[in-house]
Amino acid sequence: MLDEVVALPASLILERSGEAAVLMLNRPEKRNALDDATIVAIGEFFARPPSWARAVVLAAVGPHFSAGLDLGELTERDAVDGFFHSRMWHEAFARIESGTLPVIAVLTGAVVGGGLELAAAAHLRVAEESAFFALPEGQRGLFVGGGASVRVPRLVGAHRMTDMMLTGRVLTADEGAVAGLVNYRVANGEGLAKALELATSIAGNSAITNYAVIHALPRIVQAAPETGLLLESLMAAVAQSSQEAKERMNAFLNGHGRKVGE
Ligand code: 1HE
């Protein structure tokens, strides 16, 4: 069942767990530093995820989620090459954020630089106690290039990202959770199980609801309020009219549906 997906480089591993595709960064000896081949392959995977998948768990082999950009590849690049390199990251991560499936990242150890940019493109973040967050670009004479300046302030506010970049501040898992980087903070070793539990629950939603949350909600948030409310009404009407919504509401009224919290 796994052979229908795009070919993956050795730096990525795909496993199946029920209806969840588990995509793992697999370069632990380099702390899952992200080289160009891995970025391109991540983009291709999310452009054409396996047909059986209803959600994706994005995790990592080894104690660190990702040390960010592979600094070994940061050789002499002129401004034009640098621009297109950054755009390549944007394209790949847009396919995560605006792809067809909800994506849950499991964060451990270093979630830094481009690793944090990758995590920020996921829809939910589960962080183990070991996770720490930083944007060391400021210390390396760089600037973020993988979408952090758009996605990280959305999660934590521009003021916190400014602090992380100007001072090199490292946030612990708990600080990341308070700041808004983390949806679920779990003990070490429990991240994957928590993410799979969430993926199973999400896979049980109707496809139109998941689509609305991933695609309509971010656009509504960015729209002018009146436009946002109009989009909300349109999306609500489409979801409500689906056969699945009718079946689910009838099931609840007949005592078969899940109660809130179940
Ligand atoms: C790497 C990288 C990397 C480790 N590129 N090779 N990111 C950073 O500035 C983070 C740099 N990394 C670190 O600060 C540390 O490695 C960690 C805190 C993540 C982990 O420390 P530790 O003690 O477990 O590992 P280590 O001994 O530092 O590294 C192990 C190996 O991984 C070592 O290689 P080795 O051949 O000597 O064994 C390191 O060189 C290698 N390694 N991190 C390449 N990042 C779209 S723009 C995004 C811009 C950015 O992401 S800038 C931030 C880059």
Q: Are residues 61 and 119 in the same domain?
A: yes
Domain containing 74 equals: 12-203
137 classed as catalytic: yes
Would 259 be classed as within a structural domain? no
Residues 32, 65 contacting (CB under 8 angstroms): yes
Complex ipTM tops 0.90 = yes
Closest CA to 110 of 62, 51, 177: 62
Residues 186, 121 contacting (CB under 8 angstroms): no
262: Cα separation from own chain's centroid: 25
Closest CA to 122 of 197, 36, 55, 35: 55
Pairing of strands 12-17, 171-172: unpaired
Would 146 be classed as within a structural domain? yes
Q: Which of 29, 117, 190, 244 is catalytic?
A: 117
Q: Which of 97, 128, 137, 197 is catalytic?
A: 137
| Nearest protein Cα to ligand 1, atom 41 | 30
What is the pTM for the complete model shown?
0.96
- Minimum mean pLDDT among 15-29, 163-177, 189-203, 237-251: which range? 237-251
Q: Are residues 97 and 219 in the same domain?
A: no
117 classed as catalytic: yes
Partners of 186 in beta bridges? 128
Closest CA to 90 of 45, 151, 35: 151
Q: Are residues 171 and 245 in the same domain?
A: no
Would 105 be classed as within a structural domain? yes
Q: Are residues 173 and 245 in the same domain?
A: no
- The pLDDT tens digits of the residues spanning 55-100 come to 999 999 999 999 999 999 887 789 999 999 999 999 999 999 999 9
The CATH number assigned to the domain holding 120 equals 3.90.226.10
Q: Are residues 133 and 214 in the same domain?
A: no
